[in-house]
Amino acid sequence: MATQHFNWISYYTLANELAARTDEASRRSAISRAYYYVYHLGYARAASNGFKLIDGETSHKQLWRNYSESPDHDCKKLAVIANRLREKRVRADYNKVFLRIDDEIEALIQDAQDFAAGLVALPPRFPDPTHVRQ
């Protein structure tokens, strides 16, 4: 049986479906799926440009530093979006209380869409891991 690669857009689709529900568990899960959609898109682009993980720090911190330390302004803007989604994902996954989740869910889903669009518009050579401090 042939193995097919997972299409990360499915996470974005699921995030939208979950965000449309009114229960908190669905909305928390929507935030998590939206973040991981962005994470995997960002990681694939970075890896295609030679990004490699090193021991001693989480893959998430390394990945978004790769974007934030880029000389390209749009790459830095993607890092801001990604880090905002990451912070919200951590809150959704680990905090007992997530104040104003209903007020934030729409903007977070939009952030994921904006990240994907920004990544497509980014020059293919970015993010360039040679600009990142180790």
User: 26: helix, coil or strand?
Assistant: helix
Residue 3 lies in a domain: no
Residue 92 lies in a domain: yes
Domains in the chain, number: 1
Residue 4 lies in a domain: no
pLDDT band for position 2 (cuts 50, 70, 90): low
Residue 51 lies in a domain: yes
Please tell me the distance from the alpha carbon of residue 106 to that of residue 15, in angstroms, as a whole number: 10
- Residue 41 sits in a domain of what CATH number? 1.20.120
Please tell me the distance from the alpha carbon of residue 46 to that of residue 97, in angstroms, as a whole number: 34
Residue 58 pLDDT > 70: yes
Residue 2 lies in a domain: no
**Which residue range is the domain that position 112 belongs to?**
9-131
Residue 59 lies in a domain: yes
pLDDT band for position 132 (cuts 50, 70, 90): confident
Over residues 12-16, the mean pLDDT reads 98
pLDDT of residue 130: 84
Spatial CB neighbours of 54, under 8 Å, sequence gap ≥ 6? 62, 134
Residue 107 pLDDT > 90: yes
Residue 29 lies in a domain: yes
Spatial CB neighbours of 44, under 8 Å, sequence gap ≥ 6? 8
Over residues 51-74, the mean pLDDT reads 94
pLDDT of residue 53: 92
Residue 81 lies in a domain: yes
Which among 104, 115, 131 is positioned nearest to 40, based on CA atoms?
115
